[in-house]
Amino acid sequence: MTVTTRPPVLIPDNVAFMSAAVTWVRHWNEHLFSFAIERPASVRFRSGEFVMIGLPGDTKPLMRAYSIASPAYADELEFLSIKVADGPLTSRLQQIQTGDQVYLGKKPTGTLVCDALLPGSRLFLLATGTGLAPFLSLLRDPDVYARFDQIVLVHSVRRVSDLAYYEELESQLAEDPLIADEAKAQFVYVPTVTQEQFRNHKRIGALIDDGTVFAAPLKGPAKLDPATDRVMLCGSNAMIRDFAELLEATGFTEGSNANPGDFVIERAFVG
Ligand SMILES: Cc1cc2nc3c(=O)[nH]c(=O)nc-3n(C[C@H](O)[C@H](O)[C@H](O)COP(=O)(O)OP(=O)(O)OC[C@H]3O[C@@H](n4cnc5c(N)ncnc54)[C@H](O)[C@@H]3O)c2cc1C
């Protein structure tokens, strides 16, 4: 957590967006940070959805899509953010401190929700980089453990320090009283680091091909099977494109809020 060193920065009222105060900030490394804001009473969302977040711009608020990392029942809205050095929003957002205000969109939305998936027994959450964020929301929601027997998170990053929430996830969310028992029995964490030494260092596709993802304590076949498995993808365009093609070739159908299916996707960023 950072120590506040200046007075909070308050922002002008805006008709299109709400203002919310930052409650904490946690920097993971020079590329990543997390922060939380107060949750306005009017904000309703389903675990896995995203919302617009922003700061004042030259003429109007500068807004970007952000997955909500906290679960639907939480009092705060938590986010995991990239720091893009010359990024219009994140070059400034990375400076926020407790008490500062940010703009918040009024209507969270998205497809990485349980409602967009058909019932199944194993849920695979495949993320690169900040694509982890919506899965943190889902993994902290008791409803997910009620719907699926086992939930596997595969998180691929370049460097060890990019493994945000590593300790929490490695402990199977043991500090979270609401879901600790369920997570201990049902949650499997598979982190992988592609550009530094780590126990897993292959990309997600290779970890699926070589069976690492399906190793005990996971039960069931050592392959993705549309009869029993459901998949959520969040990350880079390349990862999503490759997996969506692979899943469709294996008989999985893409789901949406209107038509639930076997897998759902969301780009963690455009580019
Ligand atoms: C549905 C959706 C959900 C999103 N959720 C998140 C989230 O939870 N956390 C988050 O940090 N970003 C998320 N993003 C990206 C976010 O909207 C912004 O792009 C990001 O905050 C950078 O804003 P910027 O104005 O600084 O730079 P931008 O002008 O938006 O982007 C500058 C460059 O940085 C790259 N970039 C942007 N975001 C990322 C990222 N997350 N990881 C790696 N490279 C990136 C872009 O490809 C681009 O080349 C999401 C985007 C979408 C569409």
Q: What is the mean pLDDT of residues 107-113?
A: 97
* Dist. CA 83 → ligand 1 center (Å): 9
**Structure confidence by residue, pLDDT tens digits, 39-65:** 999 999 999 999 999 999 999 999 999
Q: What is the mean pLDDT of residues 190-213?
A: 96
Nearest CA to ligand 1 atom 48: 271
Q: What is the mean pLDDT of residues 227-254?
A: 95
Per-residue confidence band for 267, with pLDDT thresholds at 50, 70 and 90: confident
- Tell me if the pTM is above 0.75: yes
192 within 8 A of 204, measured Cβ to Cβ: yes
Q: What is the mean pLDDT of residues 157-168?
A: 98
Nearest CA to ligand 1 atom 51: 269
pLDDT, averaged across the chain? 96
E-strand stretches of the chain = 18-29, 32-38, 50-55, 62-67, 76-82, 101-104, 122-128, 150-157, 187-193, 229-235, 263-267
Task: Answer positive or negative: Cα dihedral of 64, 67, 71, 73.
Answer: positive
Name, in order, each residue with C-beta under 8 angstroms of 127's C-beta and a sequence gap of 6 or more: 135, 153, 154, 155, 156, 233, 234, 235, 268
User: Closest ligand 1 atom to the C-alpha of 86?
Assistant: 26
* Dist. CA 216 → ligand 1 center (Å): 35
Pocket test of ligand 1: the residue of 25, 32, 64, 91 to mutate, having most ligand atoms within 8 Å of its CB, is 64
* Dist. CA 64 → ligand 1 center (Å): 7
| Domains parsed from the chain with CATH numbers | 18-104 (2.40.30.10), 114-267 (3.40.50.80)
**Structure confidence by residue, pLDDT tens digits, 80-96:** 999 999 999 999 999 99
Give, in order, the Cα–Cα distances in Å from 161 to each of 69, 80, 164, 203, 244: 19, 14, 7, 17, 28
